[in-house]
């Protein structure tokens, strides 16, 4: 008899769900909107696995609704802050994510944000669209150079290293702050205070945890150069958005490039940062290419199939054994 697996969405890129349905009885949330905790809990009784997107809630109530049959929660994302990891650990449920497959694609998007924010492409493009481009004037749309600038990476895992490789192509000097990552041939390890004071571009590549929530607050923003740019493709909660808005509006920070926000999705109630001319704002599209999103779903499906077949998961959360029934450990994501 096939085991039941819950997918938090019924339409996902690639053929991953087709493969999953060949080996399991697939039940999927059919709604067009993001499901809430109660929506998913209502579909969960008796499932052995859950395939979730990175911002769909997987809480203790869902795990309890599934019951003792639940053995694996597979995220089609690199981040994992949407999962109650403590509850999963208590129940011996394997939690997996999708590292590696999205690192290069997210690094591309990160560098696009760096270029767009530093060169003020948002304001320049909006002026053109509004019909405001009349006389050519030397002082219009003046940005700041990327080539030769210093890039500071907070978090130096797979995505951070991929961004560092791109930065070297622009002749940038690269430094990073990450207690788990020493110097290498791409970047020099420095303290957080030194990075904030020295970097022309600060790019965030850390998971959202209790330790990293509002890692960039008013104090850290005040330590940055007024000509600096803040870029984030990690998680919205890493940045205090109110403090960032004040810093940009008051000219204490040159610009920002954001792919993530504290509240996602926004709908029509937009963060005020979206309307700022010196902020490039995108709707969490760091991994949004056809090939990468399909690869993420495929890897999540592989993790589910492996655990349900009594094999170790391919990409369990860092520190986890990836074996069902074994308490899950927390560690820094390399």
CA–CA separation, 287 vs 289, rounded Å?
A: 6
Q: Which residue is catalytic, options 91, 120, 161, 284? A: 284
- Report whether the peptide linkage leading into residue 265 is cis, meaning its omega lies within 30 degrees of zero: yes
Packing angle between helix 103-118 and helix 121-129, nearest 10 degrees? 70
Residue 104 is a catalytic residue: no
| 284 catalytic residue (yes or no) | yes
Q: Which of 85, 235, 254, 293 is catalytic?
A: 235
Q: Please, are residues 126 and 280 in contact by the beta-carbon 8 Å criterion?
A: no
Question: From start to end of 23-165, where are the E strands?
Answer: 25-28, 47-52, 72-75, 94-96, 150-154
264 is known as an active-site residue: yes
- Asked whether the beta carbons of 308 and 70 are under 8 A apart, the reply is no
Among 165, 264, 311, 332, which one carries the catalytic annotation?
264
Spatial neighbors of 234 by CB under 8 A, at least 6 apart, are: 79, 155, 204, 205, 206, 207, 208, 260
Q: Write out the catalytic residue numbers.
A: 235, 264, 284
């Amino acid at each position: 008899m096939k085991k039941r697996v819950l997918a938090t969405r019924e339409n996902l890129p690639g053929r991953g769900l087709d493969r999953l349905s060949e080996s399991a009885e697939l039940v999927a949330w059919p709604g067009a909107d993001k499901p809430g905790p109660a929506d998913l809990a209502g579909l969960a009784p008796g499932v052995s696995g859950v395939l979730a997107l990175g911002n769909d809630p997987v809480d203790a109530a869902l795990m309890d609704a599934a019951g003792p049959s639940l053995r694996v929660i597979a995220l089609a994302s690199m981040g994992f802050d949407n999962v109650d990891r403590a509850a999963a650990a208590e129940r011996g449920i394997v939690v997996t994510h999708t590292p590696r497959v999205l690192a290069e694609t997210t690094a591309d998007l990160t560098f696009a944000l760096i270029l767009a924010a530093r060169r003020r492409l948002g304001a320049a493009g909006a002026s053109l669209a509004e019909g405001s481009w009349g006389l050519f004037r030397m002082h219009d749309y003046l940005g700041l150079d990327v080539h030769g600038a210093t890039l500071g990476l907070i978090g130096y895992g797979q995505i951070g290293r991929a961004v560092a490789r791109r930065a070297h192509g622009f002749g940038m000097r690269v430094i990073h702050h990450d207690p788990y990552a020493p110097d290498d041939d791409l970047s020099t390890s420095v303290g957080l205070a030194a990075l904030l004071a020295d970097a022309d571009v600060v790019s965030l590549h850390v998971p959202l945890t209790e330790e990293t929530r509002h890692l960039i607050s008013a104090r850290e923003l005040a330590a940055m150069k007024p000509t600096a740019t803040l870029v984030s493709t990690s998680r919205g909660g890493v940045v205090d958005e109110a403090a960032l808005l004040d810093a940009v509006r008051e000219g204490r920070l040159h610009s920002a490039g954001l792919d993530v926000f504290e509240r996602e999705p926004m709908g029509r109630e937009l963060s005020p940062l979206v309307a700022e001319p010196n902020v490039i704002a995108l709707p969490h599209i760091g991994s949004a290419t056809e090939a990468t999103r399909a690869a993420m779903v495929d890897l999540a499906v592989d993790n589910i199939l492996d655990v349900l077949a009594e094999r170790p998961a391919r990409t369990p959360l860092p520190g986890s054994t990836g074996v069902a029934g074994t308490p899950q450990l927390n560690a820094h994501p390399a």
